[in-house]
Structure 1
Amino acid sequence: MTEEKKYRIEKDSLGEINVPADMLYGAQTQRAVENFPISGYLPDRAFIWSIAVIKLAAARVNLSLGLLLPPIAEAIQDASKEIMEGKWDKHFVVDPFQAGAGTSHHMNINEVTASRANQILEENQIQGKVHPNDHVNMAQSTNDVIPTAIRLGCLWRLNDLDEALLSAANAFTRKSVEFDNVIKSGRTHLQDAVPVRLGQEFSAYASAIQRDRNRILEASEDLGRLGIGGTAAGTGLNAHPDFASRMVSEMANITGFSLELSENLFESMQSMADFTAFSGALRTCAVTFTKIANDLRLLSSGPASGLDEIHLPAVQPGSSIMPGKVNPVMAEMLNMVMIQVCAMDTAVALASGAGQLELNVMMPSIAYNLFEMMKIMTSGINAFTNRCVDGISANPERCRFWLERNTILVTALNPIIGYQAGAKLAQEARRQDVSILAVAEQQIKNGQLSRLDGTPVTLEEIKTALQSVDAMTRGGLMAS
């Protein structure tokens, strides 16, 4: 038989409720657990950490304003620091899909902080009792705490994501240098196009990632604009006149982030536009990585019946039935991650537009999706970089094989024989399945090929133009 679970009785404004005896949270959290058994997901670490930062700062500010007794304020501070460190994570249990605005998650933090603060007082034999609403939540409201916490949580995750993006961009840059001498067929519309360097393709990936990185950093700047101190609806009700400005300064000291007080606390309660813009920057980056992953899958396709111009690292067997098959699993994983990011961006956009009047009650959904987007992007990009990009090798022989059969090399002859004559050369080369040079030699012997001015062209001119592939691929980069 399993041991019977022990409970204690807690009370709130709705009456009594049984709460697990070993948990620090109280009645309001327990009601949320019972009301919202939705996904089984738990609050993101960033969300727990960020609200704990707010509680730590509030205890310090309210103490400095003479609104909290020192023992109470110090116990709240100690409890908040422990929560920031992750010591009590198992006590944060409210499903992300919960009551609107995030009141349930907010009270989970308030109750755990108060319970732990009371333990600290008892351990130190100090008189006093910490209340989750009256003390931990002093001068605060869910209306201003939750959007502030989302901003802080995103900034907390930002450095890890930024490092992942920088690492990926640098990895592609290294490969662009390594592959600079590999000349291959370019392709547009999935059809043969003018020659390019494999290194140039990879330099484009590096540049695209770096530009997306810059977009994300630029969008993140607005996340440092906080509406804390607006309490309910932005009015600042029950908060000291200096509370808001002191809170911003205190949280900047705690986190090291560049923070400022919103110029309009009402706007900061109502508008989720900063989150929508930041999410959009993440989505744009996800689209870039989706394109890159798909390119790598195409370039490595086959090997016998595909392009096979690059080789991706073999990290696991690719089939349960076909021996020796190896799949581009890291690129496939990245595609799935980035598709999920795009879906979550849609959820953020819809939730951001679903606010009414003085409050957006969909903030728990915005928080969940933003934190999850950043987390899976960071992990996915790191795994892709370390287990795929770093180990990519070129297949110069296969690149040369396709290039030699690329009739679009005739483009190099445009200045000599013109577009129309070049098109006929390419068509005839494809029909006979021979090289452009072979067809040009035939036509010159038959007197069928001439310069734009009508004078006969020589085979040496054709050879020289077709052999200038190296020079043809040198453009397009402003800096090497």
Structure 2
Amino acid sequence: MSKEYRIEHDSLGEIEVSKDAYYGVQTQRALDNFHISGIAMSHYPRLINALAYVKLAASDANASLGLLDEQKSRAISRACEEILSGKLHEQFVVDVMQGGAGTSANMNANEIICNRALELMGYEKGDYDHLHPLNDVNMSQSTNDVYPSALNIALILEVRELMDAMRHLKKAFAAKGKEFSDVIKMGRTQLQDAVPMTLGQEFSAWAVMVGEDVQRLDEAQHLVHEINMGATAIGTGLNAHPDYTRTVTEKLVESTTLQLVSSPDLVEATQDTGAYVQLSGVLKRVAVKLSKICNDLRLLSSGPRCGFNEINLPPMQPGSSIMPGKVNPVIPEVVNQVAFAVVGNDVTISMASEAGQLELNVMEPVIGYSLFQSMNMLQRASRTLADKCVSGITANRERCLELVENSIGLVTALNPFIGYEKSAEIAKEAMKTGRSVYEIVLEKGYLSQEEIDDILKPENMVKPRYIKRS
């Protein structure tokens, strides 16, 4: 960017802005003030596009209501369309962590759109006598309806991408569920032997768990379809045309193709961040369940000689700088860490939402940042887990069967036939002597060999079975 400058001014005075910059004085002040996260708004293109959608809809609405000159409206619209096509994103330079309830983000958009529109009209950047970032681009708006409405649009798009990634992961688990449907293994509760199951049942259960969370995300994302455009400062609609709220919402629905609706109470909508809390809670749920699944994958693949060793995770990289041949479960481990970060973000969002005061919650920038970060990480984690781990998992069939045959948990299947007390007696003796359940039952004569073979047949113990009692 050129080191030549133009002078711009606002209510606080004059300031130098790079001559090549499409942003202006208020963006420059935000650049100077907020060296916080080091992450610019350009890192989140969906938020930038959402701001462009809002400004485009507002321009069209103001023009249709006779409030904005047609030439100005066309120039603003063309500038917004360029942003939607991917241009000028690098000009969104404000840190995502900012004070002012998103005012710097709103002004960054206003100034970029205004200066690009001025060029399209044949004027120089900063020549605000012909088109003004506040009087024209921000007409009928305030940060307090622009920023949350844009945030909602961006969140809807981000949630949909996360849902697609989770469906991809669900499909990977379901495929393994089918592949491993005939692999008999020991189920465990509290890390102790329970009853036999199939490895396919274990993987299919994980597919269902992920699928349930896709449904919960779909429910949560419907809440953020409600926007507060037309609320202006606090929801009373001051400085907006009586028909503006309806008109701008219709324009947004048309341009985004999203089923956005105007809040029935704009005062409530301007201060209430409950939808973000709800969405964050579902993201936490997703994270917790993915982390639980990854804990299971790490346990089941533990070993190779001194652990469960029931499954093999695909080797992704050497696991140690000192232990030759060691390979670690690095993909489940990174997903665990993503989960911890998402849970932390949920705490941040909860605190930020609670910190709202009276008619506005000024903490929406950190709410938005935390939601975007959580969804981005979960989306990448889901695809990484599916493609670099789950799809390459293999089963150690002999090991799984060996553990079943040697397990004391087999006595559970004897309960309906010899009773709980005798079954417990057999379990204790098997534990003490190291002998098999099969051998002890046969020796004591509680059941015939034919009966034991039928009862303890592994495939008969992995599904419900009618038992006729004598």
TM-score band w.r.t. shorter chain: over 0.9
* SS in structure 2 at match of 1:11: strand
* SS in structure 1 at match of 2:120: helix
Paired position in structure 2 for 1:137:
138
In the alignment, is the contact (CA less than 8 A) between 2:24 and 2:108 conserved in 1? yes
In the alignment, is the contact (CA less than 8 A) between 1:121 and 1:128 conserved in 2? no
Aligned residue identity for 1:458: S
Paired position in structure 2 for 1:460:
450
Aligned residue identity for 1:185: M
Q: Could you say if the C-alpha distance between residues 70 and 386 of structure 1 is closer, same or farther in structure 2, counting changes exceeding 3 Å?
A: same
* SS in structure 2 at match of 1:216: helix
| TM-score (normalised: structure 2) | 0.95
Per-residue CA distance 1:21-53 (angstroms, 9 max, x = gap):
221111111111111111211112222111111
Per-residue CA distance 1:177-205 (angstroms, 9 max, x = gap):
11110110000000111001111111111
Within 5 Å, which residues of 2 pair with 1:113-124?
A: 113-122=113-122
* SS in structure 2 at match of 1:246: helix
Paired position in structure 1 for 2:249:
248
Residues of 2 paired with 1:127 and 1:166: CA distance?
Answer: 49
Shift of 1:100: 2.7
Shift of 1:4: 8.7
* SS in structure 2 at match of 1:101: coil
Residues of 2 paired with 1:373 and 1:70: CA distance?
Answer: 41
* SS in structure 2 at match of 1:19: strand
Gapped runs of 5+ residues in structure 1?
445-449, 451-456
In the alignment, is the contact (CA less than 8 A) between 1:52 and 1:80 conserved in 2? yes
In the alignment, is the contact (CA less than 8 A) between 1:72 and 1:128 conserved in 2? no
Shift of 1:249: 1.0
Residues of 1 paired with 2:395 and 2:448: CA distance?
Answer: 36
Shift of 1:458: 3.0
Q: Which moved more, 1:335-344 or 1:457-466?
A: 457-466
Per-residue CA distance 1:345-401 (angstroms, 9 max, x = gap):
111111111111100000111111111111111111111111111111111111011
CA RMSD of aligned residues (A): 1.8
Shift of 1:220: 0.8
Q: Could you say if the C-alpha distance between residues 202 and 348 of structure 1 is closer, same or farther in structure 2, counting changes exceeding 3 Å?
A: same
In the alignment, is the contact (CA less than 8 A) between 1:71 and 1:128 conserved in 2? no
Q: Could you say if the C-alpha distance between residues 62 and 324 of structure 1 is closer, same or farther in structure 2, counting changes exceeding 3 Å?
A: same
Aligned residue identity for 1:439: I
Per-residue CA distance 1:309-361 (angstroms, 9 max, x = gap):
11111122212222221111111111111211111111111111111110000
| Aligned pairs, number | 461
In the alignment, structure 1 residue 405 sits paired with structure 2 residue 406: yes
Shift of 1:123: 7.3
Q: Could you say if the C-alpha distance between residues 351 and 179 of structure 1 is closer, same or farther in structure 2, counting changes exceeding 3 Å?
A: same
Paired position in structure 1 for 2:468:
none
Residues of 1 paired with 2:305 and 2:5: CA distance?
Answer: 65
Paired position in structure 2 for 1:218:
219
* SS in structure 2 at match of 1:326: coil
Residues of 2 paired with 1:116 and 1:4: CA distance?
Answer: 17
In the alignment, is the contact (CA less than 8 A) between 2:2 and 2:19 conserved in 1? no
Residues of 2 paired with 1:100 and 1:396: CA distance?
Answer: 60
Within 5 Å, which residues of 2 pair with 1:97-112?
A: 97-112=97-112
Within 5 Å, which residues of 2 pair with 1:53-452?
A: 53-122=53-122, 129-444=130-445, 450=446
Question: Which of 28, 34, 37 is the matching residue for 2:35?
Answer: 37
| TM-score (normalised: structure 1) | 0.93
In the alignment, is the contact (CA less than 8 A) between 2:454 and 2:460 conserved in 1? no
Aligned residue identity for 2:63: L
Shift of 1:128: 7.4
Q: Which moved more, 1:131-140 or 1:364-373?
A: 364-373
Percent of aligned positions that are identical: 46
Paired position in structure 2 for 1:20:
18
Residues of 1 paired with 2:33 and 2:443: CA distance?
Answer: 83
* SS in structure 2 at match of 1:150: helix
Paired position in structure 1 for 2:460:
471
Paired position in structure 1 for 2:9:
11
Per-residue CA distance 1:58-108 (angstroms, 9 max, x = gap):
111111111111111111111111122221111111112211311111111
Residues of 2 paired with 1:28 and 1:318: CA distance?
Answer: 50
